[in-house]
Amino acid sequence: MFRTALRNVLAHKARLLMTVLAVMLGVAFVSGTLVFTNTISDAYQNSSAKGFEGVDVAVQARYQDSKGDQVGKVPDLTQAVLDKAAKVPGAASATGVVSGFTAIADKDGKLIGGGWQSEGGNYWGTKDARYPLVSGHAPSGRNEVLIDSRTAERAGYQVGDTVRISVDGPVLEPTIAGIFTTDDGNVTAGGSLALFDTATAQQLFGKKGAYDEIDVTAKAGTGQAALKSQLDAALPKKLVETTTGQKLADDQAEQISSSMSGLRQGLLVFAGIALFVGTFIIANTFTMLVAQRTKELALLRAVGASRRQVTRSVLIEAFVVGAVAGVTGLVAGIGIGAGLRSLLGSLGATVPDGPLVITPGTVAAALAVGVVITMLAAWLPGRRAARIPPVAAMSALHSAPTTRSLVLRNTIGALFSAAGATVIVAATTMSGSDGQAPMGLGAVLLIIGVFVLTPLLSRPLIAAAAPLLRGFGVAGKLARQNSVRNPRRTAATASALMIGLTLITGMTVMAGSLQKSIDRMASAAIRADYVVSMANGNALSPDVAKKVAATDGVTASSPLSNSPSRIDGKTEFLTGVNGSAIGKLTDLTVDSGTFRVAGSDVVVDDDTAKSHGWKAGSAFTVHYEDGKAQRLTVAAVYEGNQLIRGIMLDSAALTPHQSDPADMQVMVKTADGASSATKDRLEKALGSNPAIKVQDKQDLSNSIAQAFTLILNMVYGLLAMAVIVAVLGVINTLAMSVFERSQEIGMLRAIGLDRKAVKRMVRLESLVISLFGGVLGIGLGVFFGWAAGQLVGAKMPTYELVLPWARMAVFLLLAGTVGVLAALWPARRAAKLNVLAAIKSE
């Protein structure tokens, strides 16, 4: 049987090509993902391991949990702790580490690198072993800084140049005292690092006289574990914790691989979708191959092959196809993995160097996926092949494909669809997270139901297209009839396309609606013309608020500062605002009471008020982060939203209790509204700081839109794979249909249908099938988008369903284009058929 199967594969090379391609794409996606994530993960681990080479034991402050009325906090690692650590007998040296956000501007005043990769730290003493100097000398005071060699090279800085640097507020303009090299993972990954002397760094990063971490190196002969136990004994156990360098490296490695596995899983989901779509094509191909070989298989049965042998021969064929697809897919996947890495590199995200990692697991996964998917998909056609009676070999007539009743199928499909839709609609009435699980279940049921129902749906939906096709004359009429001729085949082909479009449309609807609602929220609740914040989301220095308030044309401004507190034994974050200005800067709906923020009068959002059982006029005791208590009164309860919520009180009341006052953002209202001149004035007042963003409402909504566009584009890119696989499916179906109908086409040509019309007929059939899949997919996508939105909407009062009509038209157009493109080759083949040969061929 194996030989027969192998011969069959070779005999139908061309017809199996699309199947192989479809499986191959899925496998390539899977193995590409594995190669890429393994490679990156390995490279990061190597580079981070290097970064821990100089650390034998790290001493860090232990977080003190919130207890009773005491707000939890991190104690300082003081100079005294450092001195104690340095005196431990096994310690060779102890280095205090201070770090924080530090933005470096290039020569044009623009921020170097993404904001989240801009780091700053301290240079220890006069010679710091962590950062070997390439040139220059150790920094001293606020006017000297060191920068890493990669950043210096990128921006063209040299020792002696003046550089603009911002930590959390005013711009510093120190000279570059020196340039150093480092293995710091952040720098090797494309970030920047600036170093000050220790005292300056402590001051800049708000750690006066204290450190973030103390790195201790061991004397020769003392192990890391021994040093750790010495330190544990010497240092106050309640306040600090010690970790060996090895453990730090291991932890970091684990963290890297777990963050990589998140990425990997995300990518594999998309690979899975592509493979799922591929199964439709495999099943379709094998069904057609079996139908075409009815006589051949019957002959095998007649000469004594058992049913099992027939099934097995089909499965062996599938195995061969799957194995070929697996191997080629693996090779393509390795290429993809390598390509992705250099793509990342060219996008500016410097990935640490390292060899391409191809694990045995990757190879095994690629082959297993290829073979298992193909064989699973070919299983049903294989069973069908076994049911061919031996007598079919004798019948002279080409046996028409048995049109088994669709009644059972339709009943099952209707039940599934109805159940799915009901569950989804029921889930939309639930609140937020409760509805997620039922909605997922409903979505799966509905998709299965629609799959099963597509043959039934194909007739009415394609009939609806008849008026359009009538314009194409006979070709259109024949195309329409051909497309409903084998509803199962049409359905499977269209379904493949449907999946991709369902997901694409669903995502688009969701993203569009979310974006709109966040936009509306921002414009509804905020009256301020500008919002000033840090590029990386860090806190702003209190100086910023003062400078903004003093700028010409500013009529009202308020910082928003954040501070933890304990209320009734619960941690609540307090928002400190300028009480006299906040009313002009926000436009909050007041549920009860009078909006007033001054002295001990505060305003509270509805959710917080509800959770504490407060009403306007209620009084409560707050314990600030410094432990002091105060009695506050709820002046008003307002409707909170995603941007503004919580307890707002006057900065004058809050600031004295904050150890390190810092503002998350500053809201600004100006006399003449938002204009570029005002914006310029504000930016100038803030010293044209590269790290500080001054955004008007349009900027805010643009940046929201940008974030959504980025995510959507990534999802589109990933789902494109599923669409490409679906295109292969359409090509395959058409090619097979043309092959099966060659006699008919020959007859049509003989009685006067010209080549152009034959081509048009095939193209229109393809178009009809593709648009059918497109309409189903877009319809389902909108439904899912609506349903998911109902869940989100429960938490977001401004949520509103936005139907992206233009996008949906583009998707439909895309489906049509897919159809036309997929038909190119089959249509050419049909038109080129030799009339006589086609008629004669039995």
Residues that bind other proteins (CB under 8 A): 400, 473-474, 477-478, 481-482, 485, 743-744, 746-755, 757, 835-836, 839
CB of 717: closest distance to other proteins in angstroms?
Answer: 40
CB of 400: closest distance to other proteins in angstroms?
Answer: 7
CB of 839: closest distance to other proteins in angstroms?
Answer: 6
Measured distance CA(62)–CA(665) in Å, rounded: 29
CB of 752: closest distance to other proteins in angstroms?
Answer: 2
Q: Which is nearer to other proteins, 444 or 750 (CB)?
A: 750
Q: Taking the mean position of all CA atoms in its chain, how far away is CA 598?
A: 43
Are 384 and 287 a contacting pair, CB within 8 Å?
Answer: yes
Q: Which is nearer to other proteins, 472 or 786 (CB)?
A: 472
Q: In 124-267, at which residue ranges do the beta strands (DSSP E only) sit?
A: 133-136, 144-148, 165-166, 171-172, 175-180, 192-197, 210-211, 213-218, 240-244
Are 446 and 414 a contacting pair, CB within 8 Å?
Answer: no
Are 643 and 522 a contacting pair, CB within 8 Å?
Answer: yes
Q: Which is nearer to other proteins, 40 or 748 (CB)?
A: 748
CB of 836: closest distance to other proteins in angstroms?
Answer: 6
CB of 751: closest distance to other proteins in angstroms?
Answer: 5
CB of 395: closest distance to other proteins in angstroms?
Answer: 14
Look at the block and give the residue holding tokens 């583009």: 810
Token pair of 488, please?
């199962």
Q: Which is nearer to other proteins, 611 or 841 (CB)?
A: 841
CB of 842: closest distance to other proteins in angstroms?
Answer: 8
CB of 479: closest distance to other proteins in angstroms?
Answer: 10
CB of 460: closest distance to other proteins in angstroms?
Answer: 17
Q: Which is nearer to other proteins, 474 or 550 (CB)?
A: 474
Give the CA distances from residue 338 to residues 33, 38, 48, 333, 353, in Å, rounded to whole numbers and listed in that order. Answer: 10, 11, 21, 9, 12
Q: Which is nearer to other proteins, 130 or 829 (CB)?
A: 829
What would you report as the CA-atom Rg of the chain, rounded to the nearest whole angstrom?
A: 34
Q: Which is nearer to other proteins, 179 or 745 (CB)?
A: 745
Q: Which amino acid is at 792?
A: V
Measured distance CA(566)–CA(574) in Å, rounded: 10
Token pair of 167, please?
């930590």
CB of 719: closest distance to other proteins in angstroms?
Answer: 35
Q: Which is nearer to other proteins, 207 or 760 (CB)?
A: 760
CB of 294: closest distance to other proteins in angstroms?
Answer: 17
CB of 280: closest distance to other proteins in angstroms?
Answer: 24
Angle at 573 between CA 572 and CA 576, to 5 degrees: 135
Query: Based on the number of CB atoms within 10 Å of its own CB, is 344 exposed (0-12), middle (13-18) or buried (19 or more)?
Result: middle
Q: Which is nearer to other proteins, 92 or 836 (CB)?
A: 836
Please provide residue 176's backbone torsions phi and psi, each rounded to the nearest 5 degrees.
-80, 115
Are 776 and 494 a contacting pair, CB within 8 Å?
Answer: yes
Written in H, E and C, the secondary structure of 354-422 is: CCCCCCHHHHHHHHHHHHHHHHHHHHHHHHHHHCCCHHHHCCCCCCCCCCCCCHHHHHHHHHHHHHHHH
Per-residue burial over 817-841, b if 16 or more Cβ lie within 10 Å, else e, is ebbeebbeebbebbbebeeeebbee
Measured distance CA(722)–CA(818) in Å, rounded: 12
Q: Is 695 helix (H, G, I), strand (E, B) or coil?
A: strand
Q: Which is nearer to other proteins, 88 or 831 (CB)?
A: 831
Measured distance CA(218)–CA(224) in Å, rounded: 7
CB of 740: closest distance to other proteins in angstroms?
Answer: 11
Q: Which is nearer to other proteins, 349 or 835 (CB)?
A: 835
Q: Taking the mean position of all CA atoms in its chain, how far away is CA 133?
A: 39
Look at the block and give the residue holding tokens 């629609």: 450
Query: Based on the number of CB atoms within 10 Å of its own CB, is 112 exposed (0-12), middle (13-18) or buried (19 or more)?
Result: buried
Q: Which is nearer to other proteins, 294 or 665 (CB)?
A: 294
Q: Which is nearer to other proteins, 396 or 806 (CB)?
A: 396
Q: Which is nearer to other proteins, 460 or 471 (CB)?
A: 471
Beta-strand pair 663-670/554-567? antiparallel
Please provide residue 590's backbone torsions phi and psi, each rounded to the nearest 5 degrees.
-95, 120
Are 149 and 180 a contacting pair, CB within 8 Å?
Answer: yes
Measured distance CA(126)–CA(128) in Å, rounded: 7
CB of 480: closest distance to other proteins in angstroms?
Answer: 9
Which residues, 6 or more positions from 98, have their beta carbon under 8 angstroms from its beta carbon? Answer: 121, 122, 198, 201, 202, 205, 207, 210, 211, 212
Q: Which is nearer to other proteins, 401 or 816 (CB)?
A: 401
